Amino acid sequence: MKASAALRTAAMLGALAVTGCKVGPNYKAPAAPAPPAYSDNGHNGDWASAKPADGTERGDWWTVYNDTELNDLEQRCANANQSIAAALHAYEQAHDLVRQSKSSLYPTVSIGASATRNRISATRPLRPSNAAQAYWDFLIPLNISWEPDFWGSIRREIESTTATAQASAADLANTKLSLQGMLAVNFLQIRGVDLQAQLLRNTLDAFAQTLKLTQDRYRGGLATDSDVQQATTQLEQTRAQLIDLGVGRAQLEHAIAVLVGVPATGFQVTEKPLEGDPPSIPTGIPSEILQRRPDISAAERRVGSANALIGVAKAAYYPTIVLGASGSVESSQIQQLFNTGSAGWNAGPSANEVLFDAGRRRAQVDFAVAQREQATALYRDQVLSAFRDVEDQLSALRILESEAEVQNRAVIAARRSTELSTLRYKRGLATYLEVLTNQTIELTNERTAASLVAERVVASTRLQMALGGGWSSTQLPVN
């Protein structure tokens, strides 16, 4: 009967521990105002609100650039980059803390064993005259201790560590997005350098033909030696510009080598000029950015973690209740150790309540509340920064597109001007200075147009990064 009552009491306490109250505020994600639409959406149909299909998982977002070498490098970055590996291990540590917190819900059981030889002082006060002066003590103790989660402190701790682990997972995703985005930017800038190199090589061919024409006219008495030297100078200056491109290209290659986890020595990217307009990047509606940016999700999860710690701090106001039991077998003779008469045990609850702590618990609660408010402010600031990033790149794409259209007209006009002045020079109707001036203007405009091609593609990459790449908060683990 007594055993039955004890079992019922234990069951009741266990149920209360599992379903008992949780002190502290329940979490509600902080409000983060989002505009109804991006201000630059109306200027370019390519970046209008996403169609339903645009909401599907985009995964490897860099594949829209249709470059197999870029795709391979991005995969190598994900597998070998050391910063990504460090972020992965940080998440693993956070996940381990969740497991550690969950273990507090269960009893702690320990067992031991000891064998000691003891000697009692012969002159000890009140020592029985017939007591043995030396003896063995063989002991095997078993201890069980459990602190039921009556006030929800442990469950709030689990909430906090779970949210922190989810924030670490979002940090990992953000690290991948940042580094893979940086790789894409560097790679596309190399392609832009290759476009400049292709332009300069074509220009060198044209300038070499002009130099030959000038030399022929000089030999025929129709041009001066100064004209020949000017044509030679122009040719060599352009050749120097082509060589100078190698410095920037090499530095970009070295940066990519670090991103993919290999030594810069000997690493090369295949030469291939950039071509075409940037791909269309659907933005969706602004509110979606709250789910699509891993840095925003990380900041929001840290608010949740800080909120749960308020409950942990408030639980300190309530009594600490521990259910404990211990038992052992003990004997002075090892052969009698496991006899019934050698067993001993005790069991019972204990409770403890702090009556005065000079405001320590109040300070801990205030500290936890301040931490939550700080995390909330950082979260809202991250949201504002995210909207700014998207608007920056949308504006850049719109403005660069307009600039490219105007610049292309300038290139066409400069080419026509060079053609006409060269024709007039061949017929003796213009000086070489006129040809030289027009060729210089044409090259300057063509290089500007080529740089705009790269800038537009890089801006599209940065827009994808600002939108969160192919990530979604649904990918956060449930611990």
Please give the pLDDT value at position 9. Answer: 53
Return the structure tokens found at 358. Answer: 């000079």
Candidate CATH numbers 2.20.200, 3.40.50, 1.10.760, 2.60.120; the one for domain 113-146+321-352: 2.20.200
Q: Which of 14-23, 48-57, 196-205 has the lowest mean pLDDT?
A: 48-57
Average pLDDT over residues 240-263: 96
- The model's pLDDT over 229-248, given as tens digits with 9 standing for 90+, comes to 999 999 999 999 999 999 99
How far apart (Å, rounded) are the C-alpha atoms in residues 135 and 394?
87
**Residue 47 reports pLDDT greater than 90:** no
139 phi/psi in degrees, rounded to 5: -140, 130
For residue 214, the number of C-alpha atoms closer than 13 Å in the C-beta half-sphere is 25
pLDDT above 70 covers a percentage of the chain that reads 90
Average pLDDT over residues 63-70: 95
Q: How many residues does the chain have?
A: 479
Task: Name the pairing type of β-strands 320-331 and 114-119.
Answer: unpaired
Which residue ranges make up each domain of the chain? 19-104+148-318+359-475, 113-146+321-352
Question: 266-278: string of b/e by CB count within 10 Å (b at 16+)?
Answer: eeebeeeebeeeb
Please give the pLDDT value at position 474. Answer: 82
How far apart (Å, rounded) are the C-alpha atoms in residues 128 and 125?
9
Please give the pLDDT value at position 357. Answer: 92
In DSSP terms, 350 is beta-bridged to: 322
Please give the pLDDT value at position 43. Answer: 46
CA 453 to chain centre: 29
- The model's pLDDT over 401-455, given as tens digits with 9 standing for 90+, comes to 999 999 999 999 999 999 999 999 998 899 999 999 999 999 999 999 999 999 9
**Residue 18 reports pLDDT greater than 80:** no
- The model's pLDDT over 341-370, given as tens digits with 9 standing for 90+, comes to 888 889 989 999 999 999 999 999 999 999
* CB-based contact 172:456 (threshold 8 Å): no
Question: Alpha helices, DSSP H only, in 260-349?
Answer: 289-292, 294-314
How far apart (Å, rounded) are the C-alpha atoms in residues 445 and 452?
11
How far apart (Å, rounded) are the C-alpha atoms in residues 46 and 282?
7
Please give the pLDDT value at position 412. Answer: 97
Please give the pLDDT value at position 50. Answer: 33
**Residue 153 reports pLDDT greater than 50:** yes
**Would you say domain 19-104+148-318+359-475 falls under CATH 3.90.45.10?**
no
Instruction: Name the residue among 105, 128, 82 with its Cα closest to residue 18.
Output: 105
CA 29 to chain centre: 21
Please give the pLDDT value at position 35. Answer: 85
